[in-house]
Structure 1
Amino acid sequence: MLRSIQRKLVLLILLIAAATVLVYWLFTPPSKYFARQVKAVPIYSTSEQEAQVDSLLDFSRHIRHTPRPVESFDFPIRVGQVGPLKTLYAGPSQYPFYCMTLDSGLGQPQVDNQMGWGVPIYDHEANLGKLSHLVGYSKDCAIKTQLRFAVELASGEIKVFDSRPPDALLQSALQLFHIEIGTINRFLYLLIMPVKHYSSGQVNLQHSWNNKLVYQFEGGSGIGFRQGKLRIKRTIERRIEQLRLGYAVITSTANKTSHTYNMLLAEDTARRVKQQFVSLYGEPEYTVGIGGSGGGLAQYLIGQNSTGILDAAIPLYSYPDMISQTLYALDCDLLHNYYAFRSPEPEFWQNWPNRTLVEGMNAKNGETHVSAVLEPINQVLVGRWPRMPQGNSECINGWFGLSTFIHNPAQGFLNEYFSEAVVKQVQWSYWQDMVELFGRDELGFANQTWSNQGVQYGLAALVKGQISAQRFIDLNWHVGSWKPLADMSPERILGGWRGKKGILWLSLWSRNNITEATDKTPAKRADGSRQAAQSAYRSGQIFIGKINLPIIDVRHYLEDELDMHHMSASFAARQRMLAGQGHAKNQVIWVADKNHQPVTRAFAAIDRWLREMRANPALSAWQNKPADITDICFDKHGEAIASGNRVWDGQWNNQALGACAKYFKSFSNSRIAAGGSWAGSVFSCKLIPVSEAIDDGMYGDINMQPYLSKLQAIFPDGVCDYRYPDQARPIDL
């Protein structure tokens, strides 16, 4: 009876999915990029790319030790002029590159060629405002520097104007803003200055600037190949409290990680954007960075790698860097694929807290997730008994689709912007975005750093007796790894335009790109490129914990919501600082209930901290820290639950739980659950033979001798011994 009901349920699901796809196809209009017909972006030929003379900074040692070259562009960029297109030291320009000046409300970019390279540029029919005749192409997306004006109304609404607002509106406005927009390194930049009155010139002499500067960073997951959309109003709204106090705010689309995670490019561009501001208004008293997620890690890396851009950092919801997060994030789909399609005990994994034993991150029963309906459909397709998921996890809620978007060169959700011919020529991946730093393999694919060779998923749970030895063996026998990049194929997706995340995935959890086991042979594991990992270290893409800035690491507690911005990332940054510079006294961690926003307090604290540094320039950042600026956790009313140097003690530093750690429970990730360090920066672990691991007591009181032959088959090269550091890290670091 029960099975009959389940069959009917699955049939109903299939019918609903088919009907949904049909409705989607019939009633969803084509993408605006199809309608606008500006998506065709012919790629540069190899010879043209090689002809470029852009300089790439030397990173034969860590780039924090490499002096930056003297600026070659004559700043400031004047209104009506175009800023520098080539980077100063971040290497060759990436092509294809999609212009987004129209998306930003800034008009079409400048024509720079008649060869068909880039987006087509049209003139406008007289008096009609319609795009008409093709006049050329733009491959570098430049616009002339221009001015805008904005006001904050009494209602709190922000309005942006192309020209000076009406006098009646100015008289009732609470605050005025003078805005400059242009392109630097092909990305859009933005300068926002609070003013008392508008001036006619580029430099507004009627400003109300307090001589302090905010550099706004933003997050998101990106794989390059586009200029990015500039959101003027949104930027003002985000920093309205600081603008009211007189701070100026600057930013660039290169400093939003939705557009690139190349931190050398982000640094090069940020330095020039700040130079444009300084050349107009003079040196600020200080520059403080702020931004969340990818915008937080950018501050850690730019602060570590260079000087002259930031004087302090307020990373929000941060990670230490992007590349470390790929280690466990790319494990997620491997594990989902195992639970859904390979495990002989699917009912065990339907109790979702059991998944936390392997994934480390939070998982809950009784919740649903966006891909829940797809799982039974995909199970039917592979001949497996269908089961509707009975829960949700951070691994799904936070990281679903990352393997497809970031790792798979055959997919690329950005390719809707480009012509079919270009789509076929490009590897659409995070690794390709970094190819100038990471290099290529013998097949021409970008080197990648991800590896799970020797990783024993669920090892900590096995040692604690939370999963059986047989279950541990089966998991590691079948979990497999990602196929080589050259062998990966696009997902089978129905209901979406090319390049879009469609509504019906027929290869859920990217099962078509994961290695498979047989009864006699375990699924193959993968090893990353040592060359790529070493280049990532030297080029400053990995946070090694050496940073002499005041840092207030701020986040809301979101782990109950299965949000990807988990607290363990702050502890990873702290552990790396402890290892890299012997202390983390210049980093404080603030965590708040989601109903309290502590950012205003953080700005005030940073201001006091930097005041002490100006008074005592011979002392380091941590020596100048006021005694009351310390680790803290806040309740929903903004009251301190606890504060002090020990409030975040816990598993990450092998100490008894501190007061804040008790209040806000921290989860881990799959690599920590496999025995790894909370620092989370082991790209290539030290491998030891399984027999040696058994003799050394790696499995605690669990007798793994009966499983020796199977373990040796799964791990022919050995298992990870995390007592040793990352084997891919250059010794001189």
Structure 2
Amino acid sequence: MHKKKLIFSILTLLAVLVWLYPAEQPYKYRQVKRIAVAEENYLLPIFPHISQVSRPKEAFHFPIKLGDVGPSNSLYSGPKQYPFYCMTIDSQLEQPLVDNQEGFGVPVYDNLAQRSKIIGYSKDCLVASHLQFYYLTLDNNLVKLPIEQFSQLASLRDAQLPLQLFRAEQGSINRFIYTIAMAITPEELGTRSMSSLWNKKLIYQFNGGSGIGFRQGRQKAIRTITRRLSEVQQGYAIISSSGNRTSYTYNMLLAEDTARRVKLHFVSLFGEPLYTVGIGGSGGGLAQYLIGQNSHGILDGLIPQYSYPDMVSQTIYTLDCDLFNNYFTFRAKDNSRWQQWDQRQLLEGMNSLQDFPQKIAFLQPVAQLMAGMVPSFPQGNSECINGYFGLSTFIHNPRQGFLRHFYSDEVVKQTNWNYWEDMAWLFSRDQHGLVESTWDNDGVQYGLHALKQKQITLAEFVHLNKNIGSWKEQYKMKAENIITPFGRKMPFWLSLWGSDNITQVIDNQMAPRRSASLNAIEAAYRGGQVFIGKLDLPIIDVRHYLEEKLDMHHMSASFSTRLRLQQANGHFDNQVIWVAKRDFDPTKNAFVLMDLWLLKRKQFPELNAAQSKPVQLQDTCFDDKGEVIAQGKGVWQGKWNQVGYEKKSLNRGACAEHYAIFSNSRIQAEGPWQGSVFKCYKIPLAQAIKQGMYGSIDLTKHLKDMQVIFASGVCDYSQGDAGRPKDI
């Protein structure tokens, strides 16, 4: 009773706060209030696969002149996306150039600080190319050096201080901010292309995050240099673009076109590098895999960090997370075992921990009270919550988005805010005008592995699959019920876990599942949004071990990529996986060995990536001091053993024994570890029983329920993906 009073007190306080503190006010002085119409622009064909289609000849004459702007239209990724929010102001660059007087895009002011007069608008956020110079202080801080201070450097040199200088060029290409940076000598201050310290090796910096398009993104030159300071000091040049940060777009064709042009601009100024190596984490890792697979001539080697194979197949299981959270919180209220957090792992696959604190724990009792339930505080946490809270609605719900303070209410109403809309260049629209989704859970038997292992009962399996449901069709979805008395960084999420947008049980039979468009899945494959493993480049896949922190960057993703390489090429010898504790970063070592690898490839171009790999470069796991725990073949996967019903079990190698690898909801539903089955082939329940899919489990007591739940059949993952084209 005492706990109930506490909850009601919290709710009363919340109501007062909402009344006292109105929701966060949008930045109206720079909002987009009118949406421009995109002009026609060439879009690359994708048949049979985008990697097999020749790119058109470049139409822009590089290099971009200082004071001029780079190309605005991409060369081959289709029409521009609008609305498009300029973030040059937020990047502390100059305001974007005026390109219209009709009110499209962001307003441009005669004086940004005073905002006294609008002199025009910018729909394409173009920025003139310009140079910036920096020096490194004795305490390793980069400081911008105004041109008028160049003469003062002579006195610093006379004092024999260890002065290090850097040049950065920034401007816009394909509407995104590009950066070119390298170390320079004092004599090269003020120059654009003098490069006596450049070692002829180039790094392309990719960056991660979850984005749904519609904005230019930030790119700070200081940040670009400092994150790769060690390599720049060694003589590497760095190039990057906000268009290659997945916080702003997962359109991998646009990202490829942008990276290709940024590199082309660099080459037009400095000449061809010996090689170009990519680096970047999370989305910046998967971008390397996809650009390396889909294109030629941009990257020669990859150092993906905290990577996934791609974004679209990651949605397969991450969009399950809130279905489970909703089930555990609201629908399985009579089963207390799911409040034991280690038990959730049986169904979700990803890690979950008892007594691990939740930042948003206060939301659960509030949501339960509003649902008419007895409130309870969660006593643990899971990766599904800690890593993916809010992602389902941000990625999938067209009525949500979290970019709205950039746009007027009218623009918000006219725009569909989700990941699928960013794929409009690739996927078709349905009869409601919404871009089709590849997400599907029709026939998925959640928790099947746990049932077969007798870790859950048949009654629990049936209750779960009857009630878990699916995401409603996009046209039926609505924005979450969220209030923000303290701003968007601390939202009170009243419709927790997207509960209003998940299907309900109908006529006491089951909550309907979702069946995806086969055309959308085929397009995802052909358009290069799915990593299929066709990649012959050197790869050092690097990550810290984060499973114990319930971080979203889970280990299994690297091995999904590895399995796809194996399936496509018959081996994965061009991929090395390194894992370390957080206190040790093996990235510097990765650059050293990647350098050996790429120089050998250049010396012996007839060798493929696997054949040219240095012998000392092997799968490795490190401790927090950088000491090798285990190294060599089999330290992760061990040996395959044949067991049971035509399944293979994976014995853990020495590294996997030390750093446990968890699965996900679709693997727990007996899906494959390679993780790219968007739509399963289904077989009748009776056939599944006959084939021994349920092992020794006696289904008699709940057979009728299962026949209702899986009336259209159950997934037979042995047949692969029903949406994958046969010619790929």
TM-score tier (shorter): over 0.9
Aligned residue for 2:579, secondary structure, equals strand
The answer (yes or no) to whether the contact 1:149–1:165 under 8 Å persists in 2 is no
Where does residue 100 of structure 1 map in the other structure? 87
3-state SS of paired residue (2:421):
helix
Alpha-carbon distance change, 637 to 726 in structure 1, aligned in 2, over 3 angstroms: same
Change in Cα spacing, 1:327 to 1:232, as seen in structure 2 (3 Å) is same
Give the letter aligned to residue 726 of structure 1.
D
- What's the CA shift for 1:22? 4.8
Residues 323, 541 of structure 1: 8 Å contact kept = yes
Shift in CA distance, 206/272, structure 1 to aligned 2, threshold 3 Å: closer
Aligned counterparts, 1:584-595, within 5 A: 584-595=572-583
User: d(CA) in 2 for partners of 1:157 and 1:316?
Assistant: 25
Distance 1:87 1:147 in 2: 23
| SS in structure 2 of the partner of residue 227 of structure 1 | coil
What amino acid sits opposite 1:255 in the alignment? N
Match of 2:14 in 1: 17
Alpha-carbon spacing, 1:130–1:13, altered in 2? closer, same or farther (3 Å): closer
Displacement after TM superposition at 1:133 (Å)? 1.8
> Which residue is equivalent to 1:38?
30
Match of 2:536 in 1: 548
Residue 447 of structure 1 corresponds to: 436
| Structure 2 stretches lacking a partner, 5+ long | 641-647
Structure 1 position 651, deviation (Å): 9.6
How far apart are 1:7 and its partner, in Å? 2.0
Separation in 2 of the partners of 1:515 and 1:218? 35
Residue 686 of structure 2 corresponds to 691
Alignment of 1:413-452 (within 5 A): 413-452=402-441
Match of 1:146 in 2: 130
Match of 2:644 in 1: none
Structure 1 residue 117 corresponds to structure 2 residue 109:
no
Q: Aligned with 1:181: secondary structure?
A: strand
What amino acid does structure 1 have at the position aligned with 2:716?
Answer: D
**CA offset digits 1:418-450 (Å, max 9, x no partner):** 111111000000000111111211111011000
Of 21, 46, 67, 1:59 maps to 46
Partner of 2:643: none
Alignment counterpart, residue 60 of structure 2, candidates 47, 54, 73:
73
CA 1:486/1:70 → structure 2, altered by over 3 Å: closer, same or farther? same
Percent of matched pairs sharing the same residue: 52
- The aligned amino acid for 1:6 is K
What SS class does the counterpart of residue 167 from structure 2 fall into?
strand
1:313-347 deviations in Å (ceiling 9; x for gaps) = 00000000000110111000000000111114342
Kept in 1, the 8 Å contact 2:24–2:485? The answer is no
TM-aligned CA distance change 1:303 to 1:354, over 3 Å: same
Q: CA deviation at 1:645?
A: 1.2
State the match for 1:602 in structure 2. Answer: 590
Q: How many angstroms apart in 1 are the aligned matches of 2:262 and 2:486? A: 36
Matches within 5 A, 1:326-725: 326-495=315-484, 500=488, 503-518=491-506, 520-649=508-637, 654-725=649-720
What is the distance in 2 between the residues matched to 1:448 and 1:694? 31
1:187-206 matches, cutoff 5 A: 187-199=176-188, 203-206=192-195
Which of 269, 273, 292 is the matching residue for 2:281? 292
Alignment equivalent of 2:142, drawn from 155, 158, 162: 158
In structure 2, what is the equivalent of residue 309 of structure 1?
298
Task: Give the Cα separation in 1 of the matches to 2:4 and 2:192.
Answer: 71
Letter in structure 2 aligned against 1:521: Q
Q: Structure 1 residues 363, 16: CA separation in 2 closer, same or farther (over 3 Å shift)?
A: farther
Between 369-378 and 682-691, the greater mean CA deviation after superposition? 369-378
AA in 2 matched with 1:553: D
Q: Give secondary structure in 1 for the equivalent of 2:718.
A: coil
TM-score, scaled relative to structure 2: 0.96
Q: Which amino acid aligns with 1:298?
A: A
- Divergent runs of 4+, >4 A: 164-170, 650-653
Which letter does structure 1 place at the counterpart of 2:136?
Answer: E
Q: CA deviation at 1:642?
A: 0.5
Asked if 1:7 corresponds to 2:7, the answer is no
1:217 is paired with a residue whose SS is strand
Letter in 1 for 2:12: L
Does the CA-based 8 Å contact 1:41-1:98 persist in structure 2? Answer: no
The CA deviation at 1:14 is: 2.2
Equivalent residue, structure 1, for 2:219: 230
Q: For the residues of structure 2 that align with 1:239 and 1:214, how far apart are their CA atoms?
A: 9
Q: 1:164 to 1:391 in 2, by over 3 A?
A: farther
CA distance in 1: counterparts of 2:299 and 2:20, whole angstroms? 51
Q: Is the contact between residue 111 and residue 117 of structure 2 (CA under 8 Å) also seen in structure 1?
A: yes
Aligned partner of residue 116 in structure 2, secondary structure? strand
* Deviation of the 1:112 alpha carbon: 0.8
Partner Cα separation in structure 1 for residue 226 and residue 20 of structure 2: 38
Please tell me whether the aligned partners of residues 259 and 298 of structure 2 are also in contact (alpha carbons under 8 angstroms): yes
- CA RMSD in angstroms comes to 1.7
Label 1:425 to 1:650 Cα distance change in 2 as closer, same or farther (>3 A): farther
CA distance in 1 between counterparts of 2:638 and 2:314 reads: 21
State the distance in 1 between where 2:657 and 2:61 align: 55
Residue aligned with 2:414, SS: coil
Displacement of 1:270 in angstroms is: 0.1
The one-character-per-residue Cα deviations of 1:31-90 (angstroms, maximum 9, x if unpaired) are: 5x23xx11134112xxx43xx231111102111111111100000001011100000111
- Check whether the contact 1:203–1:281 (CA below 8 A) recurs between aligned residues: no
Q: Residue 331 of structure 1: SS of its match in structure 2?
A: helix
Q: Distance in 1 between matches of 2:251 and 2:32?
A: 24
Distance 2:146 2:18 in 1: 42
- Distance in 1, matches of 2:639 and 2:673, equals 9
* Equivalenced residues, count: 716
Structure 2 residue identity aligned to 1:151: Y
Instruction: Report the 3-state secondary structure (helix = DSSP H, G, I; strand = E; otherwise coil) of the residue aligned with 2:670.
Output: coil
The structure 2 residue matched to 1:266, chosen from 255, 259, 283, is 255
Contact 1:197 1:207 in 2 (8 A): no
State the partner residue of 2:243. Answer: 254
For residues 450 and 629 of structure 2, what CA distance do their matches in structure 1 show?
A: 31
Equivalent residue of 2:650, what SS?
coil
Partners in 1 of 2:417 and 2:450 — Cα distance?
36
SS across alignment from 1:249: strand
3-state DSSP of counterpart to 2:303: strand
For 1:43, give the aligned amino acid.
I
Change in 2 beyond 3 A, CA 1:143/1:409: same
Output the amino acid matched with 1:608. Answer: L
1:162 to 1:186, Cα distance in 2 relative to 1, 3 A: farther
Change (3 A) 1:20 1:361: farther
Task: Verify the 8 A CA contact 2:533 2:567 in the aligned structure 1.
Answer: yes
| Structure-1 separation of matches of 2:168 and 2:108 | 26
Q: Which moved more, 1:107-116 or 1:463-472?
A: 107-116
Supply the distance in 2 between the matched residues of 1:241 and 1:164 (Cα, whole angstroms): 28
Change (3 A) 1:384 1:255: same
Counterpart Cα distance in 1 of 2:24 and 2:438: 39
Separation (CA, whole Å) in 2 of partners of 1:155 and 1:283:
34
Q: Which amino acid aligns with 2:330?
A: F
> Aligned partners of 1:384, 1:519: CA distance in 2, in Å?
22
Helix, strand or coil for the counterpart of 1:460?
helix
